[in-house]
Structures are given as C-alpha cells and as structure tokens.
Chain A
C-alpha cells in the first residue's frame, strides 16, 4: 500500500514561512520566482502525514519539478521505498477511475522527458527509490518501443528499482493477449510491472479479468517474482479484489480525497457526520481523516497478507465486508477463467 501525494486536483496555498531556500534543491529556470511560489495542498498532507508513513510513499516528478511540495525530501529518509511517478498522472487531463471528476484541470507546461530526467538526477542518492518510465512520452507507442525507452531511462539510474508502466498503445485499454504477452520476455529485467486501473477495462469485471490475464501471462513467462503495480487503485473495497486478481502494489490519492469509513470510501462531510465531528474545521477534519485513512490502509495490507497466507480460503481476515468480498471473489472465480487456472494465486510481494 503506497499512499500517493499529487498536486492534481488540489488547490494551492501560500506558505506562512516561505522561503526555505537553504533546504531546497537548486533553482530551475522553468519555475516561478520564490516570492510568488504557491504550494499544493498535497504538500500540507505530506507535511502532516509524512512522518507517520513507515513503508513507502509515492511522489510525482511533476510536483517535484514544479516544486509544488514543500521540501518533500525531509520525509524520504525514514521510508523503505520512495516511489517516483514520471508525471503522467499530472500531465493527463482526466482523473483515475475512482476519483471524482468535477475539477477542470489543466497541467503546467513544460514538463517532458528532459525535466523528468533532471528530477531523477536530483534525487538524494541515499534514498531507496523506485522510478517509473516516462510513460507519457510513449503512451501511444507499441509496447516494444515503450520497453526500449524505459530500458534506456532505467539504465541511467541503475541504483533505483525499475517500475515499468505499460500503456495500451493504441486504444483506451490494455490488450494483454494481443499486445502485452508477446513482449513479456523483454520485461523480465524490470523489478516491477505496472498498469493503471483505468486502462484495465471499461468495467470492474473486465478490469479484474485483464489483471488476472496479465498475472497469468507473467507467471508463464517466468516472471512470478515480479509484482504488478496497480497505479491509481487504492479504494479499500476494490484493493482486495485487485489483489486476488494478481496485483501486489497499490498506490493512489483516494486516501486524500475520501474518508475510509468501515471499509468503504465516503465523502469527507459524510464521514464528519458519522464520526460526530460536524463542528470541526475543514483543516481539522482533513487532518483526522488523513491519519485515519493511513491506519486503515495499514490494516488492509495486513488483511491481504493474511488472505495470501490462507490462499483466499478465509475472508474473515478482512475487518469489514468479509461476506461481500467473499461473494465478489466467488463471482470472480466463476467469471474469470484465468483465476481458476492460477488457483487464485497470490502475489509474490506486497507493500
């Protein structure tokens, strides 16, 4: 479970005590002068929760480049892994599948491969990083070309773990049999293979089937040890299903956009009602909800590890909706032949 921080869709604010020049990386020509600098609200969330995240977090190179987060490197040191997204999420105008889409979003420019590479070059060398390929730049290319470009990028950063995000190429959704399976052997050198939730399919069952197909294909290609990173899929009810289907790493910003209440994501204000916190200030509500969400994610990770240990035979490991999840699992097994053939295999690794 990798909590993500992204400026996308969040407002900006002026810091009280700007600047902290001495602690910032070197200035870039492409960013505004410090006197006018605003940070993303995501920076506030990082400031608040960063010290309490133990395993891993995910930041976007886009946010690092435009300095939308206030000295994020302060929170790198205590993490087992720091995931760096190449900025594809921030560059795309649309949002992830589980996100509300009421925002009118326009990304900042310019941000391309060269900017991404500079961000990677500036990462602290002592931090255990997982870096993604620059998927935005190859999003319409055939998978073979995506792999080639990714290899070149990862080659420049051999000390970081490689996280190859597959894009559909042409079309809106991944076609595992037709476009991905033939190229899998070329992906064996990558530490992680990723897919975005929204590109798995048009509906939940199709998404699960696509994921299971990828997992099965990877297993057949001797890639059992390579976990699948599901980008943008951090909904507490959906994560267990994606986990069963074969994903092992989950990130997303839903934990910053929703409140996790009794195992389901609900609107913040609704959560305030249910928790008896109607009178709390917006900042207080946000602080409480963010912290609670992190704990729920930790707990969910524990549940999934236990589910893997019992090989999906006992859903009581989930603190909420165990019966519903088990029913969904039965439907999955009935509808997705790949799950039957893998015997609901479990991922090799979870975070």
Chain B
C-alpha cells in the first residue's frame, strides 16, 4: 500500500476513530507484551529457585555412603553402591528428595538369604555403628533401611542384585525378589527432557517443591510426580519454558491422577497404588488440589508472587 515514492496527491488523513483504534491496539499490545514479560520474569524466578533446589551436598552424601559402607563392614558382603531414584534421574530436590542407595550383591553370595534377612542385618549394623551424632534415626521397612540425618537427608539402603540393565530388589513382602528396570523410565524421561529443550526435569523439580503444600494424605511420591509429568507432556507442543510446562502439567495431571499410572520399571503394577483405585476419594481430592494450584498460579500477576507461591514453606 505504500509503494511508489513521489506519486499521489491524494487527500487523506486519519479519522478520530482510527486514532482511537490505534490507542486500543497499543494498549492491547502493551498488555500482551507485559504478559510475555511476566512469563520471562517468572521463568527467571524459577531458574533462581532451581539453583536452590539443585544445591545438593554431594560431598556430604559421599561421606555418608562411606560411613554406611564402613558400618556394614565385612558382615554384609555387597559389591557396590548404585544410586537410583531421583538422584539418578536428576530430579532430586535438595532438602526434599531422599537418596536411594542400592547395595548391589553378587547373586551367588546371597546364599539363599531373603531380603528381610539382609535388611535385618543392615538395620542391626547401621543402628549400632553409625554415629548417633550424625545419623539420628534408623528404621526398617519391607524394601529398605532408612537412615535419617540431622540435616533432614534420608538415605534408603536397598539390597539389590544386578542382571544386565535390570535389578532385582525386595518384593512387597520382603520374602523374595522382584525384577525392575530403572532404565525403562529414565530413558523415556531423558528423551522427553531433550524434546522439551531440557525444561522437563527442572519443571519436575519445581513441581515437587510446589506439591509439598498438599495436605499430608494427598502427597504424591516423587516417582508419581515424575510419571505424571512425563505422561501429560507426551504430546505437548507449547512454549518450552518451565512456567508453561508447570502449568500444563498441573492442569492435565489433575485429570490424569484420577486413573492409576502404570509403573514401566516393573517394580510395581502402578506407581500410585497408595491412592487407591481409579476415581477413589483420595484421587478426587488430589485432582481438586492440583486444579486449585493451577488456578492459583494462573492468577498470579507478578514474578514475586510466583516466587512466594513456589518457595513457600
């Protein structure tokens, strides 16, 4: 419409309606730009928070594993430690996530011992030999012995037998072994994380921090949150930012959580059996809480409000 320099001679001007329309267009653009800027501001806030979430004291963890190793001594003949769970998946949140430390045994060295036998021995040795000033509590479950430290770190010690990519870990009764393939989930998570420009793992960490605000009886396991994040972003094609992904996961997880999520590792049938069957009252309560959290986050208008919402104790 503007071609042809020097031509014309037309008489024209902008009408008052044009000027008013421009004003409105400017205001709308300003709001749109402001909204985009809020997105980037919030993502920077989330990035800041992630620095704290990633503040793992790896040296301290090594030291504690060494002390566990020394406490078990020659009485428990395992070959090596393998760190599993959120630490291996890089989804651990400092101060929130426990550490899954697999004691990997040679199958022949087990001499028919059941997992409960090993766990009892571990419990006995660890509670007796770990420094009381450091490890404040030791408790035994059907899968593991959990050592709790003064700073809140929890190390779960699980006996395991390796076979290729798979591990045999205690079954739900502790009387036998169950094959699990931790790489099955981790591989999918890694691929999805790459597809989403490496923003899925940070999103999961923020989600884990956020969901500590749920009532105790609605708390989701870390693995369940990871699985929900993975499932709900399978066909995601929106902005590859933590803020956008977080809102997407929350809004979609509120529906997905109503159905059990299969455990691809084979460790259990479902990752969320503790929530009961499909559409159970607990699942409905969690769904409502997730939807409410999403609505609350969507209503926030400043980056600082986001900071408080995520980092709230």
| Residues in A neighbouring B44, C-beta threshold 8 A | 314, 316-317
Known: A296-B29, A299-B37. A282 touches B11 (CB 8 A): no
The answer on a CB contact under 8 Å between B10 and A288 is no
The answer on a CB contact under 8 Å between A11 and B21 is no
The answer on a CB contact under 8 Å between A319 and B10 is no
Contact with B along A294-312 (1 / 0, CB 8 A): 1110110011000000000
Contact with A along B116-144 (1 / 0, CB 8 A): 00000000000000000000000000000
The answer on a CB contact under 8 Å between B30 and A295 is yes
| Residues in B neighbouring A11, C-beta threshold 8 A | 2-8, 10
The answer on a CB contact under 8 Å between A38 and B14 is no
> With the chains together, A129 CA to B24 CA distance in Å?
31
> With the chains together, A296 CA to B40 CA distance in Å?
16
The answer on a CB contact under 8 Å between A38 and B8 is yes
User: How many residues on B have C-beta within 8 angstroms of the other chain's C-beta atoms?
Assistant: 36
B190 at the interface (CB under 8 A from A): no
The answer on a CB contact under 8 Å between A10 and B5 is yes
User: How many residues on A have C-beta within 8 angstroms of the other chain's C-beta atoms?
Assistant: 49
> With the chains together, A45 CA to B122 CA distance in Å?
81
The answer on a CB contact under 8 Å between A52 and B26 is yes
| Residues in B neighbouring A7, C-beta threshold 8 A | 5
The answer on a CB contact under 8 Å between A105 and B33 is no
A151 at the interface (CB under 8 A from B): no
| Residues in A neighbouring B9, C-beta threshold 8 A | 12-14, 38
Known: A13-B11, A48-B19, A320-B36. A102 touches B3 (CB 8 A): yes
Which of A103, A287, A298, A323 is the one whose CB lies under 8 Å from B21? A287
| Residues in B neighbouring A48, C-beta threshold 8 A | 14, 18-19, 22
> With the chains together, A103 CA to B43 CA distance in Å?
44
B165 at the interface (CB under 8 A from A): no
B113 at the interface (CB under 8 A from A): no
For B7, B30, B240, the residue with the greatest tally of chain A CB atoms inside 10 Å of its CB is B30
> With the chains together, A73 CA to B312 CA distance in Å?
54
Distance (whole angstroms) from the CB of A51 to the closest CB of chain B:
9
> With the chains together, A299 CA to B2 CA distance in Å?
26
A141 at the interface (CB under 8 A from B): no
B23 at the interface (CB under 8 A from A): yes
* B18 (CB) vs chain A CBs: closest residue: A287
| Residues in B neighbouring A41, C-beta threshold 8 A | 2
A318 at the interface (CB under 8 A from B): yes
The answer on a CB contact under 8 Å between A9 and B21 is no
B1 at the interface (CB under 8 A from A): yes
Which of A15, A38, A282, A323 is the one whose CB lies under 8 Å from B197? A323
Known: A14-B11, A318-B40. A291 touches B23 (CB 8 A): yes
Known: A316-B44, A319-B36. A292 touches B5 (CB 8 A): no
Given A7-B5, A13-B11, A283-B18, 9 other A-B residues pairs in contact with their CB atoms under 8 A: A11-B3, A11-B5, A11-B7, A47-B13, A104-B5, A105-B6, A106-B6, A283-B15, A290-B22
Q: Give 5 A-B contacts (CB < 8 Å), ordered by A residue.
A: A286-B1, A296-B33, A298-B33, A303-B37, A319-B36
